[in-house]
Structure 1
């Protein structure tokens, strides 16, 4: 066989191999339980406590409820004491597990000392870094954002620094025990540079890359670290959009996302959101960057945001 025949054969084999891998990934997304079924005691085997930031409402509350129902005591951390207490009562009533509440405003820098004291000597098996914020309820261009300098600090503190600090607090204990799970909630919109959501998606790209790098560092220690990147979920942040095939309820999304714990260092957490991610990566990026598309997106969000 000549040199060029060898080259073309190698290229062909590489292409086939790539498509086989893509097919396997697709099957893993469609049928996660057939690949890596988690034992019933998986979550409680990680540790006694689950810690959820932004745990008083929406996706955070859904994670807290689900993990409590799977046998874990939970610590929920959020800004509103009243909402925390109400959520804690609901979780304790439905699951019978112990719930601790801690009020903390993650847009500030001075909240971690009290969190560290609360978590000291606790066997934290699962951390869900869910807390996050949009700089504005309606998307807009960067310079059109009201209170821009303040929003910059708040978004960076809440969406990125909070995640990093919480990982800093729980990782030593997980490393010592040789097990643990950290779920960092990102956003599917961070799949591409997303105009009119520029600050928000940039902060979520940080969540993705930080999570993937951290997983590479601590995978050998027996710790699962995963970026969870959903698209639309019916929460306060999205204006409580009506659930449908694409817009999931927090409870439905959390149940499906937990099935993907062993699917890699980044997951969209559900089949419809995975398909949306593939579409975003396939459609030429220039389509989303036109002035017309940006304006249409702003109008669409205004129309669907029922909280305005």
Structure 2
């Protein structure tokens, strides 16, 4: 056997092993309860309280309900007091858990001193950084947004600054206790450069990289920090599209995503979204970034929005 033949055989074996390992890792995602089991007391063992931002509706509301159902008291945060009060009543009536309401507009400056003061005496075991905003529901090119300067500030404040600041407030307590969970909600649009949602997608890339770096820094402290990157979830941000295998209801998505808490520093939170992310990354960017695709996306979203009116 000559050297070239040996090299080719070794290369082929390495490729087979590489893809075999990838396939094994993928099959683990099919059975999260088997591969990433959580004890019945996992959530309450992290601490007494869970904090959820953007909790008045959609994914945030569902996380608040799910964590209360696991026996945790919850702090729910958003900018609409009437809605938060209603959610708090529903959680309390259904689960019997304590609910603390904090009214905060995360698009504004200088809101975190008050938040820190209200949270400082709580034993917080879980933080869900869910709050986020789209610059516009209708996809648009960056320069086409009205009041672009204000839009940039609000998106960065809400999607980027809030997550970092909430971690700054809550992470020290978790480090001192040697336990805790932080779930930072990103988006499937962060999987690739995503034109027409450029500002929003870039803010969600920050969420992912920040979460992954933070997990590497604090993993030895027994703290779980994870970016959760869903694709379609039937929320106001997605014009309440009808639920199906790809577009999950908030309740189904949260139930699924909580099964993947131990699955690594990033997860789409659902096997259907895991497959969708893989498929999206197999499409050449030249195709996805074509001008015709951008126009088609905008027309599609406009049409779906009109159907929901």
Common fold: TM-score over 0.5? yes
Deviation of the 1:271 alpha carbon? 1.2
CA distance in 2 between counterparts of 1:106 and 1:50 reads 18
Name 2:165's counterpart in structure 1.
Answer: 165
Name 2:207's counterpart in structure 1.
Answer: 207
CA distance in 2 between counterparts of 1:111 and 1:13 reads 56
**Alpha-carbon deviations, 1:64-93, whole Å to 9, x = none?**
000000000000010101111010000000
Name 2:76's counterpart in structure 1.
Answer: 76
CA distance in 2 between counterparts of 1:6 and 1:156 reads 54
Name 1:300's counterpart in structure 2.
Answer: 300
When structure 1 is superposed on structure 2, of 252-261 and 231-240 the one drifting more is 231-240
Deviation of the 1:276 alpha carbon? 0.9
- Determine whether 1:52 maps to 2:79: no
- Determine whether 1:153 maps to 2:153: yes
**Alpha-carbon deviations, 1:113-164, whole Å to 9, x = none?**
1110111121110000000000011011111111111000000010011000
CA distance in 1 between counterparts of 2:168 and 2:2 reads 56
Deviation of the 1:18 alpha carbon? 1.4
Name 2:19's counterpart in structure 1.
Answer: 19
Name 1:240's counterpart in structure 2.
Answer: 240
TM-score by length of 2: 0.97
CA distance in 2 between counterparts of 1:79 and 1:185 reads 18
**CA 1:129–1:307: 2 relative to 1, 3 Å:** farther
Runs of 5+ consecutive residues of structure 2 not aligned to the other structure: none
**CA 1:169–1:8: 2 relative to 1, 3 Å:** same
CA distance in 2 between counterparts of 1:29 and 1:109 reads 40
Name 1:290's counterpart in structure 2.
Answer: 290
**Number of residue-to-residue matches in the alignment:** 308
Contact 1:187 1:231 in 2 (8 A): yes
Deviation of the 1:249 alpha carbon? 0.5
Runs of 5+ consecutive residues of structure 1 not aligned to the other structure: none
Deviation of the 1:307 alpha carbon? 5.5
Name 1:41's counterpart in structure 2.
Answer: 41
CA distance in 2 between counterparts of 1:220 and 1:239 reads 41
CA distance in 1 between counterparts of 2:56 and 2:204 reads 21
CA distance in 2 between counterparts of 1:103 and 1:65 reads 18
CA distance in 2 between counterparts of 1:245 and 1:303 reads 21
Deviation of the 1:264 alpha carbon? 0.7
Deviation of the 1:9 alpha carbon? 4.1
CA distance in 2 between counterparts of 1:6 and 1:226 reads 42
Deviation of the 1:13 alpha carbon? 3.2
Name 1:227's counterpart in structure 2.
Answer: 227
TM-score by length of 1: 0.97
**CA 1:295–1:177: 2 relative to 1, 3 Å:** same
* Counterpart secondary structure, 2:238: coil
* Counterpart secondary structure, 1:237: helix
Contact 1:28 1:263 in 2 (8 A): no
- Determine whether 1:93 maps to 2:100: no
